[in-house]
A and B are shown apart, each in its own frame.
Chain A
Amino acid sequence: GQQVMQIPQYQHVQEGEDFTTYCNSSTTLSNIQWYKQRPGGHPVFLIQLVKSGEVKKQKRLTFQFGEAKKNSSLHITATQTTDVGTYFCAVLSGSRLTFGEGTQLTVNP
């Protein structure tokens, strides 16, 4: 399946600071999905990006798909303690969804 690298692995921020996680692939992606997993919880689907250069927003979350469809980012503006968790990107190849290693976000109040 397709490989995707996700960075950083960990991110600690103060409440109110911004946060960004990145996913990069060496090959062109057909689409990319983003999931959030709260501590002790299960992954929950956030969004799917399909088009080159696509930007989608969900309140304080902004998702981007690169022009070459080889990278994607998730940006959170003014983090809150409720944003704590692990954020995963996932890429589809055939019927297989391959997850990045995730970015674990902690937010200090």
Chain B
Amino acid sequence: DTAVSQTPKYLVTQMGNDKSIKCEQNLGHDTMYWYKQDSKKFLKIMFSYNNKELIINETVPNRFSPKSPDKAHLNLHINSLELGDSAVYFCASSQDSGNEQFFGPGTRLTVL
């Protein structure tokens, strides 16, 4: 059983398109996150939700919009994709915000 799953694993798209990445966790955790990892491996938090409520909203372009339909799901929608959006996007979850985080396998986004 996969604890934190993401789809798709790979996403190749043209500049200007709109795309979504989905994340689901079956751990019963209350908090979920989206991270962006660039080519230098730097991991940066983008958003965090606790029980479907947004609690962290870092300085990211408003082309990025997270949505949490329930506490087991946190999706990321990206409008008008740009070249600089190319990265690996990781979803993660934790029981509470101070506990260890469990990461999904990542979605490698390539914008051409």
Binary B-proximity of A69-109 (CB < 8 A = 1, otherwise 0)? 00000000000000000101000101111110110100000
**A-contacting 9-mer, from B11-19, B37-45, B67-75, B77-85:** B37-45
Binary A-proximity of B10-50 (CB < 8 A = 1, otherwise 0)? 00000000000000000000010100000011111100101
CA A88 to CA B43, docked complex, whole Å: 9
Chain B min CB distance to A72 (Å): 15
Q: With a CB–CB cut-off of 8 A, which chain B residues contact A101?
A: 40-42
Q: Check B1 for interface membership: any CB of A closer than 8 A.
A: no
Q: With a CB–CB cut-off of 8 A, which chain A residues contact B48?
A: 95-96
B100 — nearest CB in chain A belongs to which residue?
A45
Total interface residues in chain B, CB < 8 Å: 23
Q: Check B66 for interface membership: any CB of A closer than 8 A.
A: no
CA A42 to CA B101, docked complex, whole Å: 11
Q: With a CB–CB cut-off of 8 A, which chain B residues contact A42?
A: 90, 103-106
The answer to whether A102 and B50 touch (CB under 8 A), given A43-B103, A44-B103, A45-B100, is no
Q: Are B97 and A99 in contact (CB under 8 A)?
A: no
Size range of the chain A interface in the assembly: 20 to 34
Chain A min CB distance to B92 (Å): 8
Q: With a CB–CB cut-off of 8 A, which chain A residues contact B40?
A: 101
CA A42 to CA B44, docked complex, whole Å: 14
Q: With a CB–CB cut-off of 8 A, which chain A residues contact B43?
A: 43, 88, 99, 102
Q: Which residues of B contact A (CB under 8 A)?
A: 31, 33, 40-45, 48, 50, 55-56, 90, 92, 97-98, 100-106
